[in-house]
Structure 1
């Protein structure tokens, strides 16, 4: 594995001249992956909203603002995730992928009966996964109805299935995905119960899936697992558990920008800085920031 640049070894950030020029000029080009933000959202007010939604932001999270955060924090590549409040209308973030096909990948939200042609179109634009955002929704039976066929097609394209659900329900969802040999990505540390934190039994189950080699976990949005706090301390405890179980090659980091519903307790810089606390060792941290997402999201 490549040696770390000195700035990264010291816990800082570094961009090569080529990457710095791209971020400053907004020009897309193929360059080596240096560090990846594996979970962020872009949107503006006025987009069509999903009929069923938990909230609707009253502000814009623009691409230009996001790229400025990447530049300031030494991130060269990104994975954009369709926001829950936009439902299955992926047009806005797909337009971003068209603009930056080398630097950005995407995770879409789709209906289970979505046709192959639409999936192929999204694949061509850089979509690498589908997200099942199941917070507050009934649990689907992934072994019946349209799901097995969809999962077969997702597997054929080399996509992953991203799960956003509380840790206590992961045991009801993951077996069907693992049986069908899906690549599975778990959002936001597995969303442990705020009252239980790192001792949530759902995390025991999640860690037990590491041996399958099919499950990855995002170290992101620890603040979604606590009440009225940034979640940095909980994130450290959760990261230790997940590193012990999965090792760094099955973990990726995400900013969760623009931190919807939690902008009062976190910002981009603090989100990135938290990873240095969660993983003090620079070599291990570089695997999570660069090598693991490069493989998972087909970057570089």
Structure 2
């Protein structure tokens, strides 16, 4: 009898995630706010930007968390899986104390389905708009969708080049939604923090509705001089701390670092945060308190 991709992933692993999840102490010490899990054989979008040739199993991810003394994680639906969140929800159901999830859905999704996702531990929806046409968020369908997200007290997670952030964030903020901006806002690498879109993002610090993920700095790196994006990450984090404070910033490993695995690993991603946020109390906010509240982890 054939196995589901999730069952196959468990069989191919060593059960580490089961043992990690079964530990009695599941109190929140630190939260990875952005990671992906998937296995080979999952149905993928026909049109996609990337096709991984490896699996990123939940056993592998749990091992990384344990090694870095991180108690909880937020799993984000990868772009190449589209709106089929089946695998992600399977992981969430198996480890409900340890993970929350951010899914990808169509704006016309049924109300009952959204409510079911909330009961599963979903806390947000992702708009991964890299390489796609920008949606018209003024359309009634999007207005209704954003109202539903607000009613659920979820957030909308946005990944798009910084130049387009004003177009996207302004209607979201008018709707009253919480907004999480991925990967430092994705400024154009040659412009870095001078990118007008990044400057716009800094101006949203007083809104009280916007959070920014300190993650994937290598996705904003300016060439071979700084392939891991470390220098960019330090400059951008300093400005973001000034604009948002640690109460609106989140850290994410971006594991398994798709398309950038040659430049960084989980340990390096975690170590970067100490350089980006050198103050221990601010760093504790970023790693724990801010994420715990936004992602609805219990005490």
Shift of 1:235: 0.5
Distance 1:72 1:30, change over 3 A: closer
Q: Structure 1, residues 61-99: CA drift from partner, whole Å, max 9, x if none?
A: 000000000000010010000000000000001001001
Q: Distance in 1 between matches of 2:18 and 2:277?
A: 26
Contact 1:77 1:103 survives alignment (8 Å): yes
Q: Which region of structure 1 is more displaced relative to structure 2, 124-133 or 28-37?
A: 28-37
Contact 1:82 1:109 survives alignment (8 Å): yes
Tell me if 1:49 matches 2:44. Answer: yes
Say which of 216, 237, 240 aligns to 1:239. Answer: 237
In the alignment, structure 2 segments of 5+ residues that lack a partner are 1-15
Q: Distance in 1 between matches of 2:110 and 2:123?
A: 16
Query: What is the total number of aligned residue pairs between the two structures?
Result: 280
Superposition map of 1:1-300 within 5 A: 24-27=19-22, 31-226=26-221, 227-228=223-224, 229-300=227-298
Distance 1:169 1:28, change over 3 A: farther
Q: Distance in 2 between matches of 1:299 and 1:29?
A: 16
Shift of 1:32: 2.4
Output the aligned Cα RMSD: 1.5
In the alignment, structure 1 segments of 5+ residues that lack a partner are 1-20
Q: Structure 1, residues 172-192: CA drift from partner, whole Å, max 9, x if none?
A: 111100000000000000001
Give the TM-score taking structure 1 as reference length: 0.91
Q: Distance in 2 between matches of 1:51 and 1:156?
A: 33
Shift of 1:100: 1.2
Contact 1:190 1:203 survives alignment (8 Å): yes
Distance 1:188 1:24, change over 3 A: same
Q: Distance in 1 between matches of 2:288 and 2:242?
A: 19
Contact 1:113 1:146 survives alignment (8 Å): yes
- Secondary structure in 2 matching 1:169: helix
Q: Distance in 2 between matches of 1:139 and 1:147?
A: 12
- Secondary structure in 2 matching 1:146: helix
Contact 1:167 1:203 survives alignment (8 Å): yes
Contact 1:135 1:166 survives alignment (8 Å): yes
Contact 2:17 2:59 survives alignment (8 Å): no
Q: Distance in 2 between matches of 1:65 and 1:279?
A: 27
Runs of 4 or more, structure 1, over 3 Å off, are: 21-26, 28-31
- Secondary structure in 1 matching 2:34: strand
Distance 1:223 1:274, change over 3 A: same
Q: Distance in 2 between matches of 1:59 and 1:296?
A: 31
